[in-house]
Chain A
């Protein structure tokens, strides 16, 4: 459903992605882990079509992101790490625009928006201008916009960062529902516990390359101090430092 092959991206002399390849199958939630600067956000932004790759390709639901942008974006949802909106508008106005662009059926789209906003505890502020929103509220709004149309591929860049506990639970429930309905979810996070509980598989990035790919069965046992995935992640980082 989401195929990333040979993806390369440089910022001047700095290599952010150096031939990243992996895929995410329908119904699968794949975690993306990496230290700061490992290339997670670059990978997600490139996969979302926000910036072109220097080499390689990304296919979303069978469509190349840069050759068939319209078709791929119809199938895609993207929750940004640093969401930005039209500050003058309310969340409801922005989401109604997103729904209209995606030509969603208006009545059901509005009902879904209200249900998601209620679950994420944003319902009471839907008609307030976005410029008065906190960081967490902006992240929630970005998440709702990403899942509103029930995408086939969902890219979440630190999507739950800034969520309060009940909202984080509701968002994780929504992600699991999306996956059950066949959505391929790529979920980037710094919080290994969240990834461990939510994801079926983990891709670990180091210096713009895939350092490890682990399925749930591969995580092994943790220690008293660290959860299994946290242990695996720290091992990967230590290996990187030793190289």
Chain B
């Protein structure tokens, strides 16, 4: 005889009535997972350190030293004048404000990083583990603080500028205050970014941490793409068309190209400003240069965004990949320069030619630097961007310190990244 199942309304244990408890009403208790997360974070740190080869470590250390030296010098001179005018107390106040600015900058970096992590965190994988989601959020907070560490040596370099001008114990006090401010600013800014990300996410009934994890990296139903045109271009032309297609699609490539085009628009608008012709040219150049930088960032996005398994078996050479991106950059900058020179009212023909040549050399060199780092660090876009922006930062500071030194630094960067180009053939991260 087959035993009958429980009657309707009766539980398998024989009790009648409703379910006695709801899992949703009883928050689960998790064992202490601090040790596991600490081990994970140690392994992550070791892996990141090992991912940098010896040469990259030297380059990053040199960049940090140069930037610190720059901020030390930039702070030392005005602080000296300020202490002469307002005394040591005034100098301490000046340094306190500078420390506050650095702490706020660190907070902004942490918020930006938290926002990016919230969108990319492997939510399903975390939720599948018996891990407290709030603990995952604390882990993400730590991760978002990592890039904000860059503010610390720069802030300390600024603080060191007060040596001999402000009493040492005040400097120690300011350093301690900066440490607290850094911790609090990064914590609050990351929390604010996370709260915004939670508000954007779905599943309003869930606790915030679960809500964020459940919404991250969700595959959305997307509209069908328009049917492509079938062409037989071969090599770099086909790759250039692919770049343009990807740039027309919402994503990082489009954002970077959009920024470049907007800045080039600003550089054109500068010629209509109510100023002397040479001042107008300076304003236009101030917009043109970041535009070229954004084009370099676009090149990094595109160079690092090509999946190796799909691209490497294709008959494409380093020359093709370089030419496809460089041609696009040259065309965009070329149009911008011609347009700028054409509407450059008040400049003599000789000055216009000089402007065109200088801007072309500078713009192409800046953007090519990004392209070369993108090609040689494929597929590590973040590492390529760090190196690119770091090198441009040093170039900019060198230009301010000694005329034409910036050019030397930029050319050195091009040579450095150019020597690395042969790595494109032997990319090990594929």
The answer to whether A93 and B314 touch across the interface, beta carbons within 8 angstroms, is: no
**Top 5 A-B pairs, shortest CB-CB distance:** A84-B307, A106-B230, A100-B238, A90-B225, A103-B234
Quick one: given A50-B308, A83-B310, A127-B227, are A97 and B249 in contact (CB under 8 Å)? no
Chain B: minimal CB distance from A67 (Å): 11
Chain A: minimal CB distance from B375 (Å): 15
Chain B contact residues, CB within 8 Å of chain A: 219, 221-222, 224-235, 237-239, 241-242, 245-246, 249-251, 305-310, 312-317, 425-426, 428, 430
The answer to whether A50 and B225 touch across the interface, beta carbons within 8 angstroms, is: no
CB neighbors of B among A43-59 (8 A): 45, 48-52
CB neighbors of B among A73-119 (8 A): 73-74, 76-78, 80, 82-86, 88-90, 92-94, 96-107, 109-110
Chain A contact residues, CB within 8 Å of chain B: 45, 48-52, 66, 69-70, 73-74, 76-78, 80, 82-86, 88-90, 92-94, 96-107, 109-110, 127-129, 131-132, 142, 145-146
Chain A: minimal CB distance from B353 (Å): 39
Quick one: given A50-B313, A102-B315, A103-B232, are A131 and B307 in contact (CB under 8 Å)? no
| Secondary structure class of chain B's binding surface, majority of residues | loop
The answer to whether B224 and A128 touch across the interface, beta carbons within 8 angstroms, is: yes
The answer to whether A82 and B309 touch across the interface, beta carbons within 8 angstroms, is: yes
In the complex, 29 of the A-B residue pairs with CB atoms within 8 angstroms, ordered by the A residue number, are A50-B308, A51-B426, A52-B426, A77-B313, A85-B307, A86-B306, A88-B249, A88-B250, A90-B224, A90-B225, A92-B228, A93-B225, A96-B228, A96-B231, A97-B228, A97-B241, A100-B231, A100-B232, A100-B238, A101-B315, A102-B234, A103-B233, A103-B234, A105-B232, A127-B227, A131-B222, A132-B219, A132-B222, A142-B309
Q: Kindly list chain B residues whose C-beta atoms are within 8 Å of the C-beta of A74.
A: 315
A81 and chain B: residue at smallest CB distance: B309
The answer to whether A128 and B310 touch across the interface, beta carbons within 8 angstroms, is: no
Q: Kindly list chain A residues whose C-beta atoms are within 8 Å of the C-beta of B235.
A: 101
The answer to whether A76 and B313 touch across the interface, beta carbons within 8 angstroms, is: yes
The answer to whether B225 and A80 touch across the interface, beta carbons within 8 angstroms, is: no
Cβ 8 A contact of A128, one of B222, B237, B305: B222
The answer to whether B224 and A127 touch across the interface, beta carbons within 8 angstroms, is: yes
CA separation between A131 and B251, bound complex, in Å? 13
CA separation between A129 and B344, bound complex, in Å? 45
Chain B: minimal CB distance from A9 (Å): 11
The answer to whether B230 and A107 touch across the interface, beta carbons within 8 angstroms, is: yes
B379 and chain A: residue at smallest CB distance: A84
Chain A: minimal CB distance from B310 (Å): 5
The answer to whether B241 and A48 touch across the interface, beta carbons within 8 angstroms, is: no
Quick one: given A103-B234, A109-B230, are A50 and B312 in contact (CB under 8 Å)? yes
Cβ 8 A contact of B317, one of A70, A83, A92, A94: A70
CA separation between A9 and B428, bound complex, in Å? 12
CA separation between A50 and B317, bound complex, in Å? 13
B228 and chain A: residue at smallest CB distance: A96
A73 and chain B: residue at smallest CB distance: B315
- Chain A CB within 10 A, most for which of B227, B230, B251, B315: B230
Chain A: minimal CB distance from B123 (Å): 16
Cβ 8 A contact of A50, one of B224, B246, B315, B430: B430
Cβ 8 A contact of B230, one of A45, A48, A84, A110: A110
CA separation between A77 and B314, bound complex, in Å? 8
Q: Kindly list chain B residues whose C-beta atoms are within 8 Å of the C-beta of A105.
A: 232
The answer to whether A100 and B234 touch across the interface, beta carbons within 8 angstroms, is: yes
A131 and chain B: residue at smallest CB distance: B219
CA separation between A145 and B238, bound complex, in Å? 15
Given known contacts A88-B250, A146-B313, what 7 new A-B pairs fall within 8 Å (CB)? A83-B310, A85-B310, A96-B230, A100-B231, A101-B239, A103-B233, A132-B219
Cβ 8 A contact of B225, one of A83, A106, A129: A129
The answer to whether B309 and A83 touch across the interface, beta carbons within 8 angstroms, is: yes
Cβ 8 A contact of B314, one of A90, A98, A107, A131: A98
A126 and chain B: residue at smallest CB distance: B227
CA separation between A128 and B225, bound complex, in Å? 6
Q: Kindly list chain B residues whose C-beta atoms are within 8 Å of the C-beta of A110.
A: 230
Q: Kindly list chain B residues whose C-beta atoms are within 8 Å of the C-beta of A70.
A: 315, 317
Q: Kindly list chain B residues whose C-beta atoms are within 8 Å of the C-beta of A86.
A: 242, 246, 305-307, 310
The answer to whether A51 and B232 touch across the interface, beta carbons within 8 angstroms, is: no
Q: Kindly list chain A residues whose C-beta atoms are within 8 Å of the C-beta of B249.
A: 88-89
- Chain A CB within 10 A, most for which of B229, B233, B235, B312: B312
Q: Kindly list chain B residues whose C-beta atoms are within 8 Å of the C-beta of A98.
A: 314
Q: Kindly list chain B residues whose C-beta atoms are within 8 Å of the C-beta of A45.
A: 430
CA separation between A26 and B242, bound complex, in Å? 33
Chain A: minimal CB distance from B70 (Å): 39
CA separation between A101 and B239, bound complex, in Å? 7
CA separation between A76 and B312, bound complex, in Å? 11
Q: Kindly list chain A residues whose C-beta atoms are within 8 Å of the C-beta of B227.
A: 92, 127
Q: Kindly list chain B residues whose C-beta atoms are within 8 Å of the C-beta of A132.
A: 219, 221-222
The answer to whether A101 and B234 touch across the interface, beta carbons within 8 angstroms, is: yes
CA separation between A229 and B227, bound complex, in Å? 45
CA separation between A93 and B245, bound complex, in Å? 9
Q: Kindly list chain B residues whose C-beta atoms are within 8 Å of the C-beta of A49.
A: 312-313
CA separation between A173 and B317, bound complex, in Å? 33
CA separation between A105 and B234, bound complex, in Å? 11
